[in-house]
């Protein structure tokens, strides 16, 4: 089932990036119409003590509550500081992560992170074999049922493993 999909992706909480169409909008009405025509899917997991990080990260999520209550001046104020390794939870790996002198996350144009999306469900195979490798055959099978994936589409694979998060042993 091919549908216009708008995806919200949490990048190093609390910064939220909305992935939308690459089309240039000429008016607020056009943008509102476009944003209301899609299906919103939130792919994020919370950043907290249960967040799973890449095994080589010696520390995990740290939250420092700096103020949460009524100040000496008599008004309520809440502020926190947080830190976390970059390779954990829901995040974006920039091209420089795997290729010297390539773009860092802040240099990746938003247009590279936007567009229509398709979801290819490989959960039946992945649940039968935890070492299942997604293959070209999975993509060809999806296209046989749904038609060719349009150029520049975002391709998401549903493995079914999200139901185990944040238990790293499953």
Same-domain pairing of 107 and 27: yes
pLDDT at 35: 66
Same-domain pairing of 124 and 165: yes
* Residue 42 near residue 25 (C-beta atoms within 8 A): no
* Cα(80)–Cα(69) distance, integer angstroms: 12
* Cα(19)–Cα(112) distance, integer angstroms: 9
Same-domain pairing of 19 and 98: yes
Same-domain pairing of 125 and 107: no
Which residue segment(s) compose the domain that 62 sits in? 47-83
Same-domain pairing of 55 and 30: no
pLDDT at 37: 72
Same-domain pairing of 33 and 102: yes
Per-residue pLDDT of the chain (170 residues; tens, 9 = 90+): 333 333 333 333 223 333 333 344 446 777 677 667 777 677 788 888 899 998 899 899 999 999 999 999 999 999 999 999 988 888 888 999 999 999 999 999 887 877 788 999 999 999 999 999 999 999 999 999 999 999 988 899 999 998 998 988 87
* Residue 45 near residue 11 (C-beta atoms within 8 A): no
Boundary-marking domain end, from 34, 60, 83: 83
Same-domain pairing of 51 and 97: no
The two tokens of residue 154 are 């975002």
pLDDT at 31: 63
Same-domain pairing of 131 and 169: yes
Same-domain pairing of 17 and 2: yes
**Nearest to 134, CA basis, from 143, 124, 144, 122:** 122
Same-domain pairing of 56 and 12: no
Number of domains within the chain: 3
**What b/e sequence results for 72-99 when a residue is b if at least 16 CB atoms lie within 10 Å of its CB, and e otherwise?**
eeeeeeeeeeeebbbebbbbeebeeeee
């Amino acid at each position: 089932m091919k549908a216009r999909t708008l995806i919200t992706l949490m990048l190093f909480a609390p910064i939220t990036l909305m992935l939308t169409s690459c089309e240039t909008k000429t008016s607020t009405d056009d943008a509102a119409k476009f944003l209301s025509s899609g299906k919103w899917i939130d792919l994020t997991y919370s950043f907290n003590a249960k967040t799973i990080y890449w095994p080589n990260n010696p520390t995990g999520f740290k939250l420092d509550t700096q103020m949460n209550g009524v100040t000496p001046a008599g008004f309520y104020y809440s502020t926190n500081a947080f830190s976390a390794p970059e390779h954990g939870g829901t995040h974006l790996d920039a091209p420089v992560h795997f290729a010297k002198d390539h773009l860092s996350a802040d240099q990746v144009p938003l247009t590279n992170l936007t567009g229509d999306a398709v979801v290819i469900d490989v959960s039946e195979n992945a649940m039968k074999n935890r070492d299942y490798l997604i293959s070209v055959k999975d993509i060809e099978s999806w296209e046989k049922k749904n038609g060719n994936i349009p150029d520049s589409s975002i391709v998401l694979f549903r493995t079914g493993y999200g139901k185990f998060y944040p238990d790293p042993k499953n």
